[in-house]
Amino acid sequence: MAFLQQPPQLEHPYRGDRLLLALLDRALPAARRELLDVDLDALGDYAVMAWQRARAGTPRKPVLTAWDAWGRRVDRIELTAAWQEGPRLTTRHAILAAGHEAHEHARLEEFARVYLYHVASEFYTCPLAMTDGAATALKASGNTELIGRALPRFLSRDPGAFWLSGQWMTETPGGSDVGNTETVARRGADGQWRLYGRKWFSSAVVGEAALALARPEGAGPGAQALALFYVETMDGDARRPELTIDRLKDKLGTHELPTAEIHLDGLPAWPVGELAHGVRQVAPMLNTTRAWNAVCAVASMARAIALARDYAARRSAFGRPLLEQPLHAHTLAGMQAEFEGAFALAFEVAHLLGRVEHGAAQPHEAALLRLLTPLAKLWTGKLAVAICSEALECFGGAGYIEDTGLPQLLRDAQVYPIWEGTTNVLSLDSLRALTGDGLGALRAAADGWLAGGDAAAAQAVRAALDAAARRLDADGVRRPALEAGARGLAVTLARC
């Protein structure tokens, strides 16, 4: 019998994750820690089952049926099994509800769940992130009518009542620069606002609601004149006729996620707040989904490294397992070290978010959160691509073969740096946060983190912060130079 290679096995992502276990043991009061165990254990079980199920079957993509046999417009989307299981898992394990409980650990407990669920969910976490972001933005708006209508759905623990929300921002003339938005909001004689236009990327097209940017009719150009609207997409069991799905995007990765181009032709809409400054109003949503992006990028890294590490014990070359080849072991150790830094940064954001939202934060921590959110998103996004690429190489040729399930990791990771603000856009956003009180907040936090720790590391971090301060001072009047260096500065601070 010819040699047969043993494939990689996935260790239980919760019970086997030393980093996550240590974080939760350290950060949570014992009673809360214990309560969390059941959900995390179950989500880890689900991840193992989903990995095995995907190896046994053929990969699938969602399918759009625009018309029925008799010519009726139906825009029906057939989803993968993991997507069909999404509402049940989300509500049973309170993935979104946990993040909105009234205590300072709520976000950490939510993001621990997200971290374990993400890869197995087949990017069902994308609309979950947007739903969480919509709940957060509606709360920040203080619009009691919309809060009362939507939040019991978005945060429901009942799969029958649960709704997903989309985030309709990007249009053909611009995704980074949403000031180019062409969608118009018109108010009819009946007082009802309605949206007319085209949204170019809609990732939760199966969702029941969305927050959308649109320009009220007669308002001026630019981003400041945009308003933020809440919409619902369904009329009972049928999609509203004022919303049509033009097509599903044919994407590099995230194949199971139905991302659509849509047309709005009079879809009823409700203003979230004042009829201008929609970007300011949607910012809490952006910051929430960016935190999700960071945690999900870290989850992809964890999966890639776990499989590469397992394989290194099963695959031999030159007379011993790869794990015993010093250079291969060193390669894995380097990946692990980068991953641990990214994990710490992403979960620091999760922890801070809960503290700030529940009034438990120290004075500098709100500014710190504002700065660390874009830094965490941009750095973990880039690192996920690099680590997934390196992990594929750890499998040699097998890493390039579709039905090992490995290429999907790399294809999917490439989305993290693009959506929710590209690396450059977030570098500029972090510049905005730094030139506020971000740098001072980072200094205050670094003093706390580094107290009593490794002196050389402390010196390196302080030197980087001093260099950042000099750069901001020296280049303050030369905006082009400051912007050109923004990515370098952001990456340095994120790695620090």
Phi, psi of 453 (to 5 degrees): -90, -160
User: What tokens were used for 128?
Assistant: 């979950």
Applying CB under 6 A, which of residues 17, 429, 490, 496 lies at the interface with ligand MFK?
429
Closer to ligand MFK at the Cβ: 127 or 399?
A: 127
CB of 5 to ligand FAD, least distance (A): 33
Contacts 24+ apart (CB under 8 A), 149-153: 150/209, 150/230, 151/100, 153/208, 153/209
Q: Which residues contact 200 (CB under 8 A, 6 or more apart)?
A: 170, 171, 172, 175, 261
**Residue 163 in the binding site for ligand MFK (CB under 6 A):** no
Which listed range, 34-42, 350-358, 374-382, 413-421, lies at the site for ligand FAD (CB under 6 A)? 413-421
Beta-bridge partner residues of 213 = 228
Contact between 289 and ligand MFK per CB under 6 A: yes
Query: In the complex, what is the shortest distance from the CB of residue 254 to ligand FAD, in angstroms, rounded to a whole number?
Result: 5
- Residue 322 in the binding site for ligand MFK (CB under 6 A): no
- Give dist(CA 414, CA 481) in Å, integer: 28
For residue 141, state whether it binds ligand MFK (rule: CB under 6 A).
Answer: no
Which of 92/280 has CB closer to ligand MFK?
A: 280
Q: Evaluate whether 412 touches 253 at the Cβ level (below 8 Å).
A: yes
425 binds ligand MFK (CB under 6 A): yes
Considering CB under 6 A, how many residues would be counted as binding ligand MFK? Answer: 29
Cβ at position 312, least distance to ligand MFK in Å: 28
Return the ∠ at Cα 357 (arms to 117 and 418), rounded to 5°: 50
168 touching ligand FAD, by CB under 6 A: yes
Binders in 110-129 for ligand MFK, by CB under 6 A = 123, 125-126, 129
Identity of the residue numbered 304: A
* Of 293, 291, 269, residue with least CA distance to 209: 269
Instruction: Say which amino acid occupies 167.
Output: Q
Contact partner at residue 168 from ligand FAD, ligand MFK, none, CB < 5 to 8 Å by partner kind: ligand FAD
259 contact choice in ligand MFK, ligand FAD, none (CB below 5 to 8 Å, kind-dependent): ligand FAD
Task: Out of 202, 233, 288, 380, point to the residue binding ligand FAD (CB under 6 A).
Answer: 202
């905006």: which residue's tokens? 479
> What is the rounded distance in angstroms from the CA atom of residue 177 to the CA atom of residue 149?
31
Give the one entry of ligand MFK, ligand FAD, none that residue 68 binds, where binding means its C-beta sits below a cut-off of 5 to 8 angstroms depending on kind: none
Q: Considering only CA atoms, which of 73, 67, 76 is closest in space to residue 242?
A: 73
Q: Reduced to 3 states, what is the DSSP secondary structure of residue 3?
A: coil
The reply to whether 143 sits near ligand MFK by the rule CB under 6 A is no
Query: Residue 395's closest CA among 383, 381, 409?
Result: 409
Burial class (CB in 10 A: 0-12, 13-18, 19+), 7: middle
- From the list 240, 243, 239, the residue with the least C-alpha distance to 264 is 243
Rounded Cα distance between 222 and 236, Å, is: 36
Q: Is 156 in the site for ligand MFK (CB under 6 A)?
A: no
Q: Are 209 and 163 in contact (CB under 8 A)?
A: yes
Nearest to ligand FAD of 256, 310 (CB atom) = 256
329 binding partner (options ligand FAD, ligand MFK, none; Cβ < 5 to 8 Å by kind)? none
Among 234, 424, 446, 462, binds ligand FAD (CB under 6 A): 424
Exposure of 141 by Cβ count < 10 A (0-12 exposed, 13-18 middle, 19+ buried)?
buried
Which of the choices ligand MFK, ligand FAD, none does residue 163 contact, using the CB cut-off of 5 to 8 A by kind? none
Q: Is 286 in the site for ligand MFK (CB under 6 A)?
A: yes
Q: Measure the CA dihedral 33/35/39/40, to 10°.
A: 20
Among 35, 418, 463, 467, binds ligand FAD (CB under 6 A): 418
Distance CA 374, CA 377 (A): 5
Q: Are 385 and 379 in contact (CB under 8 A)?
A: no
**Binding to ligand MFK by residue 245, rule CB under 6 A?**
no
What residues between 9 and 38 interact with ligand MFK by CB under 6 A? Answer: none
Q: Which stretch binds ligand FAD (CB under 6 A): 201-209, 299-307, 365-373, 383-391?
A: 201-209
Site string for ligand MFK, 246-285 (x = CB under 6 A): -------------------------------x-xx--x--
Cβ pair 423, 417 in contact under 8 A: yes
Per CB under 6 A, the list member of 81, 184, 225, 425 interacting with ligand FAD is: 425
Q: In the complex, which residues of this chain contact ligand MFK (CB under 6 A)?
A: 123, 125-126, 129-130, 167, 169-170, 175-176, 178-179, 203, 223, 277, 279-280, 283, 286-287, 289, 292-293, 296, 419-421, 425, 429
Site residues (vs ligand FAD, CB under 6 A): 166-170, 174-177, 201-203, 251, 254, 259, 415, 418-419, 422, 424-425, 428
